[in-house]
Structure 1
């Protein structure tokens, strides 16, 4: 999961997911609830831009990957629960949001349990100031991306034609979210060990394929734009 394969698509995929959640929160929930959703979305935009084009810290990219892979199912469960409680059952705004947050809370608790119970996993190897990823690729990113896109397209007609299937889908999504925590337990353990080492040694580690990462950024249009800005700023300072 922590390799540079599909580097930009993993980062942009999380941004797309967050945008989808923000839009549907405005559409099916209390109108004021879009304000905290927008704040969280802007925070994610800032972190994603830093991760994609500025930071060379391995842990920045690792946490972005974990957030994306573990949040797809519970976020869609949140949206469906919000549609059921607020739009269909006509519950109050705060009550609807509290019930809708239960899938997120459940997955967060499962993540916390996986973090506390994490064993020793040697899948991230430190070599100098770089991190080598030796774990087998098992992030589920390809099918999770398609899964999220399909749910995004089906969300509106599902909400419009409410039936018991919506509630069943919520349970299925919650189960998927818990399974993804279990599926990524080794990645969670690896990330925990890396963060502990960074705190203990008071240093940050970068990518084993740092040169490849820099070339990916240099070929992107945003990277070329940033390089141009740096050149112009350098000339003015000179």
Structure 2
């Protein structure tokens, strides 16, 4: 499929690195990736792109990158693995009854809270959060008894769309509605800024899927999720 004829969310990593996150992109030929300390994601301009030289330039030996939807042609010495088809969900309208949610205790997370964020994500969101992932967007959280109880953030995006990510709650604070409030808060905040929120979630996490469905998100499409490892 010609990317110019597809929706930007059909190739979200590439779209993000060519727009909102262009200043972060490490690019070569038909590929672009985030620096490894920010995120493990790489975008591909076109399915099956001839990218041998670009891969060698962007991905060090023994490194693994993650892709959504499109994968390049894979030369010898590389392993491409289909991990799953994720649910790409989108919230096309503000969440109508979110105004009743308490938001006074929702705080924006920054450099002062970095250690708290890294500790929580290492516990419940370990595969995708890196030391400088917070460079991708805004992050918000709720503290209880001096501890970061739950958080949410913004990851990929374009001028018109924002990916909601890192929706996670410390196990000690499950069942208090923190994730729901944070989701509704950040989704509506993006709508107020003229951006439509979307997210990716595993079909093997029905509790999360149900949370999103109950709060205005619908399935847009299933999107292939790949890992690509350079073996030598």
Normalising by structure 2, we get a TM-score of 0.23
Structure in which a larger fraction of residues adopt helix: 1
Structure in which a larger fraction of residues adopt strand: 2
Normalising by structure 1, we get a TM-score of 0.22
Higher-Rg member (1/2) = 1
